[in-house]
Structure 1
């Protein structure tokens, strides 16, 4: 296993770094580096910049309009974007549903849906979780009944991230109750402007509506929006979830936020506290270890070897690291991390420090928000069971 980057890969990194520096809007980078609120316009503006370059689908093969990069090139691209302060690409379109459409969709579906995803013009949402079906997705009850050339969809999805912006949503729906629960699930693409679709935002502690409920009341969906075969959606869902769990790990964001933690600690005067420095050091060791694990996978892929299926392990470690750095930020700022008034944060009340460093805004928001990372995408308890079964048999 060779974890060193080749001269060609280093040159690729420099090319990406130069392009990102020249094209990433400064106002967006400032918000990302200081964990300030990103609007829909901020996220979609960056997506369209990447789309115009052909890099929004940076993991796509050339035959579908992507750059055709290998695993190492994709990693370097993601790292340079993260360190520069680019927003995370909203994954539901380019990272999650697009690979499913490529692998299991018809040529007509690929021609219809992929261009809007690649350009960043169409906002996609994910319709997996339900009130009684989160980590146990086989329990989904949202029903799709075929009537002629349409499906009639009734039911509810919840925790739909940024669903208030959604234009299309990919859903797991129940099309049969026969046999095992997994065998009666289908994968359906639904236009969220369809009559009968209702989105109800869920207001969180930080005043934001990051997640939503989505209701379907006799929503008519053309049969042509079914991906693959009816009742085979569980297979397609597993294909998608491997992309989601790897994306949640996001070691590159953790590297960037580790540096932010150090900035906050220095600003608040606790960086010289040896016990606090010990905690930062332990976190840094885990970030490096996670990066080494990612690079092991990349090295195996580059050499043509089959890497272990470690999406669950990456998700476990990555999500726990995110919670730890947000907690250390709170500890570093002390009482200054507590102000939690939406209007005050929007007005910049949480402190512009000398030199324009917004050190503490909004630490409480970040801390509470990241409590969810060990739950969504399959709870870490469930992932540990999957990993143990894989290792122990």
Structure 2
């Protein structure tokens, strides 16, 4: 299979590279966040390829390979972390596939401009990997239309910055599992109705949050009431392809740093560690080829699960290598405690601790294996 880009893609790459080099020196790039999203929106870099699906609300036409080119160039230059990626890469394609024309007109242009940020209300305490167990409930809001949402979500990335949240909630009282769920859109600015609490991770960061809803108003339902499971599964299927390739650019940079540390510290002379480093490199190349092979494919229920299973274990093993190549020094703090806060972690230690979660969040390895076994291989369902 030929994975090469053509001359049109190369010209697009040069355009993307030139724009990034020129704009990464601006203050909004240093600040990141909403200001950077709006800069990207003004230049037409948000919503690439939306118009390919007839949505009519993206910034510019771009082929699938050109979307990959932009994502690769963005990752390679170390541009600011995107706070708008949930709206652009998850919410927008879901609206294009399942939303009404009015919903597309209301929400897609704001995402494309970088004006509105989104978070994802899926996981709950007791319903993380087993998403069908959600208990957050929504009842009709007779006074305003739409629904009133009550419940709790957890591991909600970027909830403190988001303007909107898409929430999977149970709208049919007494329903269970996949039935009676709806995919709702609600604004986050509802004082007294929504509370966001940061979750401190063992790495010291607080990227994730708990979100509590107490009668919060959701004004939109995507895909029709009771059809939330189909919409939610359609969204999860989008977590591959271009976004997976972007993720792998970051993985490659992390692997390069681990290899350099092994060479500089002499650990590369250990044949076992050297073999593990080579294996990590080979597996990363295989993941890239697999992502390119499945890019744009439809109707393959196992592709997202295979991708998650591959990269989750790979990244966890890389975190382990990052500290193992340093020997005992990888388990202790800095030599000069006066210059740093006690217990502050270095880059390798943060990588190790964060990657312990890679085989759990976004669907645990056990869940991914069940999906592959039942939906792809046709094996008997696991007894409940």
Smaller-chain TM-score bracket: 0.7 to 0.9
> Structure 1 residues 283, 28: closer, same or farther in 2, change over 3 A?
farther
Shift, 1:56, TM fit:
2.3
> Structure 1 residues 165, 346: closer, same or farther in 2, change over 3 A?
farther
Match of 1:192 among 161, 175, 188: 188
Unaligned runs of 5+ in 2: 379-384
1:193-342 counterparts in 2 under 5 A? 193-195=189-191, 196-222=193-219, 225-245=220-240, 247=243, 250-298=247-295, 301=296, 308-309=300-301, 310-338=303-331
Per-residue CA distance 1:6-45 (angstroms, 9 max, x = gap): 233333333323332332349999xxxxxxxxx9x43444
Output the CA distance in 1 between the equivalents of 2:50 and 2:338. 38
Per-residue CA distance 1:354-381 (angstroms, 9 max, x = gap): xxxxxx9322222211222221221121
Output the CA distance in 2 between the equivalents of 1:345 and 1:339. 15
Task: Please state whether the residue corresponding to 2:236 is helix, strand or coil.
Answer: helix
Conservation of the 8 A alpha-carbon contact between 2:312 and 2:358: yes
Shift, 1:107, TM fit:
2.3
Other-structure match for 2:40:
50
Output the CA distance in 1 between the equivalents of 2:40 and 2:317. 31
Other-structure match for 1:355:
none
Question: CA RMSD for the aligned pairs?
Answer: 3.0
Output the CA distance in 2 between the equivalents of 1:339 and 1:188. 46
Task: Please state whether the residue corresponding to 1:384 is helix, strand or coil.
Answer: helix
Other-structure match for 1:95:
89
Output the CA distance in 2 between the equivalents of 1:267 and 1:345. 26
Other-structure match for 2:160:
164
Match of 1:118 among 112, 117, 127: 112
> Structure 1 residues 56, 335: closer, same or farther in 2, change over 3 A?
farther
Shift, 1:179, TM fit:
5.5
Other-structure match for 1:35:
none
TM-score normalised by the chain length of structure 2: 0.85
Other-structure match for 2:15:
15
Number of equivalenced pairs: 366
> Structure 1 residues 350, 184: closer, same or farther in 2, change over 3 A?
closer
Task: Please state whether the residue corresponding to 1:144 is helix, strand or coil.
Answer: strand
Output the CA distance in 2 between the equivalents of 1:345 and 1:61. 55
Residue 129, structure 1, aligned to residue 123, structure 2: yes
The structure in which a higher percent of residues are helix is 1
TM-score normalised by the chain length of structure 1: 0.83
After the TM superposition, which of the residue ranges 129-138 and 261-270 deviates more from structure 2? 261-270
1:137-152 counterparts in 2 under 5 A? 137-148=131-142, 149-152=145-148
> Structure 1 residues 290, 103: closer, same or farther in 2, change over 3 A?
same
Output the CA distance in 2 between the equivalents of 1:348 and 1:15. 43
Output the CA distance in 1 between the equivalents of 2:338 and 2:166. 34
Match of 1:61 among 51, 55, 58: 51
Higher relative contact order structure (alpha carbons within 8 Å, sequence separation ≥ 6): 1
Residue 74, structure 1, aligned to residue 67, structure 2: yes
> Structure 1 residues 194, 377: closer, same or farther in 2, change over 3 A?
same
Match of 1:363 among 345, 348, 351: 348
Task: Please state whether the residue corresponding to 2:255 is helix, strand or coil.
Answer: helix
Other-structure match for 1:109:
103
Output the CA distance in 2 between the equivalents of 1:87 and 1:350. 27
Shift, 1:260, TM fit:
2.0
Output the CA distance in 2 between the equivalents of 1:92 and 1:175. 24
Task: Please state whether the residue corresponding to 2:263 is helix, strand or coil.
Answer: helix
Task: Please state whether the residue corresponding to 1:165 is helix, strand or coil.
Answer: coil
Output the CA distance in 2 between the equivalents of 1:311 and 1:104. 19
After the TM superposition, which of the residue ranges 329-338 and 212-221 deviates more from structure 2? 329-338
After the TM superposition, which of the residue ranges 229-238 and 67-76 deviates more from structure 2? 67-76
Conservation of the 8 A alpha-carbon contact between 1:24 and 1:46: no
> Structure 1 residues 119, 159: closer, same or farther in 2, change over 3 A?
same
